[in-house]
Amino acid sequence: MAEDNQEKQFMPLMRDHDSDADTLDEFTCQKCRHAGRQQTIWPAVGVKAILIALLAVAVVMTGLGIVAFAVVYQNSNNCDHREHESSTLNLPTDSLFGDIPWRRVIMEKDPRYHDPTLSATDQGNMERLNDTFVWSDILPTTMIAVPDPSIYGLSGGGKVWENPADFDDKTEAWTVSVMHQLHCLADFKKNFNNLRSGGALNDGQYAHLTHCVEIVRRNVMCKAELALERPNDPHIWPVQHVSGWGNAHVCRDWDQVMAAIKKYAITRGENGWRRIRDDDPKLII
């Protein structure tokens, strides 16, 4: 009996493994070495793959973050220094006139253009009137000769030259928008003074002024300047006058604008456009 109990006590624990070899692959024992190897070898490979993938994603995201920071920093830096640096508007003619910078300017009244008074001589002499209000100082010409406008994607400019030998076959005559606008404002002022002194508009003058109103309107809306202008007296009500003087604006460097335009300036000759000469009289609006 003792021997029977001893045999039962030392019964092999792995007997089922030996007697059921056909199902060994399907059997999982949590305490067996071979089962432990089966459970850990593939999960380890999977964990490594996941870690490598996460590392790759982290590297990519870090790179994108650095690039994004650089772009934001550059844009911020440009904004902080825009009054000292150039600003390209991506116009086709930027390469023609050069990169003209912008400046912070406090607008102040210039009595040469603002003073509404006229002397008796001014009322009867349009050439003197033009000199008195110094429009020629800011309006050297309305036209320029553009060498090969096709470079800028342009075509259809003027081709009538007083001296064709002075220009090559590709050069064309074009109006510069800012000069066109100043020409219109000068014409407004001239006709305003003419009407004030008792004159009248003929049909041609009226048509030109109507055209100029539209030119100025469209260009004002095109630029859409958003500078703020304070009222002259914030405590007056209901009529608060706003002169516009003393307020900050961001403007093109006017001296460089004038220099760029004068480089290509042309004027009306007897039979066509010609180069401006040093002995030419001031432009009469």
Q: Give the CA count within 13 Å in the CB-facing half-sphere of 43.
A: 5
Return per-residue pLDDT of the chain as tens, 285 residues. Answer: 544 444 444 444 344 444 444 444 444 444 444 444 444 455 666 666 777 777 776 766 776 667 666 665 565 555 444 444 445 567 778 889 998 999 999 999 887 777 655 454 554 555 455 444 578 889 888 899 999 999 999 999 999 999 999 999 999 999 999 999 999 998 898 888 888 888 899 999 999 999 999 999 999 999 999 999 999 998 988 888 999 999 999 999 999 999 999 999 999 999 999 998 888 877 655
Please give the pLDDT value at position 35: 46
What's the rounded Cα separation, in Å, for the pair 158 and 177? 15
* DSSP reduced 3-state for 144: strand
| Cβ atoms 190, 143 nearer than 8 A | no
The answer, yes or no, to whether the previous bond of 43 is cis (omega within 30 of 0) is: no
**pLDDT score at 116:** 57
Closest CA to 150 of 70, 233, 93, 189: 93
What are the residues whose beta carbons fall under 8 Å from the beta carbon of 225, sequence distance 6 or more? 249
CB atoms within 10 A of CB 209: 15
Specify which residues 250 forms β-bridges with: 104
pTM above 0.75, yes or no: no
Q: Are 101 and 253 within 8 A, CB to CB? A: yes
